[in-house]
Structure 1
């Protein structure tokens, strides 16, 4: 290369940099941090951003019908991939609609960036349409929110937002004035910052191992943040001779076939596991914030392992907190158990608990009824699930029936664990299929949950996302009805009116079928698995009070 061509190339690069807009630089910054797509609804305050997206091909735009769906999709993607996910919307009402999904990301601790427009620079602080102080609005559900008011500040502010989201595992928010997007910006985007996981302190490992070696009634309580440590937890349970009890929604981390797995604790779990857990003298809590009252021991020694120090002490009352790679820490503790001899009477109690629950649950799953019993629906669904399937679980009565009855192998479950918003299932399923197009994705929802987001059935068809949606349709907000009855109140306005979900789905570009028997459900599930477009199965479900609420009524659980 000659000196002349080198100078010409430098001049060309300078001209290209000078031609870049704020939108272009922001998009490149997102790309450098591994962002693959943006979920959102277009609005005039982000027209400049949309124009920038139209000039490139690396970031995909997924346009949805309602901003709440965009934010829930971003939250679900972050949960499934561990990477930052992005949603975008109009200023004002666009942002308020995003807040349901941002609340989910905030309470479940996942990195999401919400980008919204804002009033033009000269109109900020005035009575301009839709103007509000958006930073104050989102303060309670984000770890960071800023307004960018100059092109020179874009790169630093976006990088700070991304670093905060990833470093703190929290949603963040940026407001960009509508006339800032198209201004020239010569700043160079920052490369992504790689954040190393801390190593557990040897002194904490020694203290934890000392407690574990003296345990007579050990229990492991594992949550969703322990997903990548499932194999290590299984080896530790075998060495330590303990029961494994799962936190809320932590399905598929340990195969149900494990002799040590006792199911979930508390809501939607194995009711027999609570009594056994309360007898424990040492509990190893792994990647969980789940510590339900009246199901946990009062005087046990508790060791809590997390990868973020912010999770230690938040909900689990531990004596020893260990921050480090969960899988590595569990493996190190397993090595410390070499000379441990598991008490036979405790192993027997664990085996008896598992066998008794298997017998009880088998009878429940075999109930024959018309309409179909919820446990029976879950049992049939289970037969067509791939080992690596992703299950997007909505919130409501269907959640508890699924968690209680589904016998997982290695499936990955995504749900609104702490925010518990209805309508999460369909957005989560679509995000899962966007992120993992070659895996089976099944949404398990109720008629109430689907009714909140059914306009976005069209979104799945538009973007060619062949997910399966199974609707437990009983014409009621069953959980609310059961809670009202449990509290000796009249179940007022808990019945709901539903459309014909099959016709709605077909009009939205889906295949759909109504399944009223187990055989019809099996046929529909087989068809859905090989379908090339999204498939909805409407299953009339019996109105059955979930056993958890029957237990509560008897006084052994708090409402």
Structure 2
């Protein structure tokens, strides 16, 4: 939706509505509105069209401003915070080029359904619609990656505009954007900020659950497909449900850690970066329960139409994928009820044998991959060592690229929380996400897995970690190549132009930014440094000299 909130009035006369509270500046009211909705941080870059908001931020202590080096990092941090906490993430930028730089991070939030509010400056009132420097119709610019975008042109419209935008973001898990003219922040309004209204989560009719339970009881070859948002559910309850239903468990892209890898029916990921033995088994399923996922890998749709999909968002159920029954349910009480309802269900022992066989075959193959040796270091072995040294409740952020597929294939999760760019899949996500995750969870270990291509895009924001004392660990898979792009081009019979990288010494670059940094050439050295990094009070970067190996998914198609 692209519109203007109200017609503008004189920009020189403060507006005070009789009978309301004492007037405050627009900037003060905006910050109080954000505070009432639980916002603790705003990420951004300074610019003259947002000076008024930054000045107000400096005069209060409830909300912290995190100044980053590039606006795309600000938006990616806001998106990562929203994904991790479920709360509204907020970013701020200059008009024009500042907003243009936000677009990448806003695209990540938009496609991954993360509630984010972007606030950008705009030209002063009397210059809107002219050839003023940096002026552009920002509502048109941002509409492809936002659900709403408004230009506010009156101080008494600020509270209403913010309430609408914030509620849109939170209720629909999407991106909203506000353009605020630079001379509006200092004007006054007596309209008080509004707290977040209480809204009950969506819930399906109990009769629908009875229909679902009846369908589940018919299954002889059941499968459970978990999306990343299933992390809202208790993993032990999911495991008990799988035991009661006698189903194999498959993970959609990025759902690592939702259920521990050691569950006897956990078959790892489905599709790219997953268990190659899982797809044939998944196709044989006669009933599938899909939880919090709108994703099916191409060519791996089961041969049955008996699919129950449970989602917390109406939009996910509207995606045209196979479905006999769709259930909109944000709460968590329904899963124990299903377990109770399956008490008398007779499990098919032959199907369980197939599930366990699939797990054994994959475990044997995966263990062989994870114990490869050599120099430079095999990516799968690096992932194994990370798995063995990382905390069970750590937050892991993944960049996009070859390192992501190696991680998804070879990491055996316990209770770790994973953050990645799921559908937008932008390079450069890993470092900003790790910075935001540590700010949100300061007492948890936070590890970023990135490639040399992804880190190169956001290298300047190593300084952000030092400035704010954000003690994260960054592991760089450094092979001097955009490996995934190179392998895909070769598979297509193309010359891999532009895939070779000219890298700095990442360890020296990180040291220059105030980090502890190490150039890693052996597994013994990697193990020692990983253990040291867990107790460091400073950010730590490991520049791992990784072997330029094609990922097995690409090898299988050559």
Please say whether Structure 1 and Structure 2 have the same fold, judged by a TM-score greater than 0.5: yes
Shift in Å, 1:515:
1.2
Shift in Å, 1:15:
13
In structure 1, distance between residues paired with 2:488 and 2:208: 43
Q: Are 1:417 and 2:419 counterparts?
A: no
Q: Are 1:510 and 2:515 counterparts?
A: yes
RMSD: 1.3
Q: Are 1:183 and 2:187 counterparts?
A: yes
In structure 2, distance between residues paired with 1:418 and 1:164: 21
In structure 1, distance between residues paired with 2:55 and 2:189: 15
Shift in Å, 1:285:
0.3
* Residue deviations 1:257-285 (CA, integer Å, cap 9, x gap): 10010000001100111111011011100
More helix by share: 1
Shift in Å, 1:193:
1.5
* Residue deviations 1:186-231 (CA, integer Å, cap 9, x gap): 1100011122212222222122111111111000000111102122
* Residue deviations 1:98-138 (CA, integer Å, cap 9, x gap): 00000000000010000000000011111111111111111
Shift in Å, 1:233:
1.4
In structure 1, distance between residues paired with 2:204 and 2:274: 31
Shift in Å, 1:401:
0.3
From 326, 329, 332, the counterpart of 1:321: 326
Shift in Å, 1:387:
1.1
Provide the residue aligned with 2:252 in structure 1: 247
From 280, 288, 313, the counterpart of 1:275: 280
In structure 2, distance between residues paired with 1:346 and 1:381: 34
Q: Are 1:384 and 2:385 counterparts?
A: no
- Which secondary structure does the structure 1 equivalent of 2:178 belong to? strand
Residue 413 to residue 25, structure 1, CA distance change in 2 (3 Å): same
Provide the residue aligned with 1:24 in structure 2: 28
Q: Are 1:476 and 2:477 counterparts?
A: no
Shift in Å, 1:18:
4.1
Q: Are 1:205 and 2:205 counterparts?
A: no
* Equivalent pair of 2:47/2:93 in contact (CA under 8 Å): yes
In structure 2, distance between residues paired with 1:523 and 1:26: 48
Provide the residue aligned with 1:122 in structure 2: 126
In structure 2, distance between residues paired with 1:73 and 1:179: 28
Shift in Å, 1:19:
5.1
Residue 261 to residue 470, structure 1, CA distance change in 2 (3 Å): same
Shift in Å, 1:314:
1.2
Within a 5 Å distance, the mapping from 1:432-443 to structure 2 comes to 432-443=437-448
Provide the residue aligned with 2:472 in structure 1: 467
From 238, 242, 249, the counterpart of 1:237: 242
Q: Are 1:347 and 2:347 counterparts?
A: no
* Equivalent pair of 1:41/1:89 in contact (CA under 8 Å): yes
* Equivalent pair of 1:244/1:263 in contact (CA under 8 Å): yes
* Equivalent pair of 1:280/1:300 in contact (CA under 8 Å): no
In structure 1, distance between residues paired with 2:428 and 2:38: 27
* Residue deviations 1:64-105 (CA, integer Å, cap 9, x gap): 000000000000000000000100000000000000000000
Shift in Å, 1:331:
2.2
* Equivalent pair of 1:306/1:326 in contact (CA under 8 Å): no
* Equivalent pair of 1:381/1:525 in contact (CA under 8 Å): yes
Q: Are 1:451 and 2:456 counterparts?
A: yes
* Residue deviations 1:526-556 (CA, integer Å, cap 9, x gap): 1111111100000000011111112233xxx
From 140, 165, 184, the counterpart of 2:144: 140
* Equivalent pair of 1:112/1:172 in contact (CA under 8 Å): yes
In structure 2, distance between residues paired with 1:326 and 1:265: 26
In structure 1, distance between residues paired with 2:329 and 2:199: 13
* Equivalent pair of 1:41/1:65 in contact (CA under 8 Å): yes
* Equivalent pair of 2:489/2:495 in contact (CA under 8 Å): yes
In structure 1, distance between residues paired with 2:485 and 2:284: 32
In structure 1, distance between residues paired with 2:550 and 2:294: 27
- Which secondary structure does the structure 2 equivalent of 1:552 belong to? coil
In structure 1, distance between residues paired with 2:522 and 2:321: 43
Normalising by the residue count of structure 1, what TM-score does the alignment of the two structures yield?
Answer: 0.95
* Residue deviations 1:295-345 (CA, integer Å, cap 9, x gap): 221334110001111110315321100111353222222222111111010
In structure 1, distance between residues paired with 2:81 and 2:321: 26
From 45, 49, 56, the counterpart of 2:60: 56
* Equivalent pair of 2:67/2:464 in contact (CA under 8 Å): yes
Unmatched segments (≥5 aa) in structure 1: 1-13, 554-559
In structure 2, distance between residues paired with 1:447 and 1:315: 37
* Equivalent pair of 2:286/2:303 in contact (CA under 8 Å): no
Shift in Å, 1:16:
12
In structure 1, distance between residues paired with 2:424 and 2:238: 27
Provide the residue aligned with 1:523 in structure 2: 528
Residue 473 to residue 315, structure 1, CA distance change in 2 (3 Å): farther
Provide the residue aligned with 1:297 in structure 2: 302
Provide the residue aligned with 1:5 in structure 2: none
- Which secondary structure does the structure 1 equivalent of 2:556 belong to? helix
Q: Are 1:224 and 2:208 counterparts?
A: no
How many corresponding residue pairs? 540
* Equivalent pair of 1:200/1:329 in contact (CA under 8 Å): no
Shift in Å, 1:244:
0.4
Q: Are 1:172 and 2:176 counterparts?
A: yes
Within a 5 Å distance, the mapping from 1:35-54 to structure 2 comes to 35-54=39-58
* Equivalent pair of 1:395/1:424 in contact (CA under 8 Å): yes
Normalising by the residue count of structure 2, what TM-score does the alignment of the two structures yield?
Answer: 0.95
From 527, 543, 546, the counterpart of 1:541: 546
* Equivalent pair of 1:17/1:185 in contact (CA under 8 Å): no
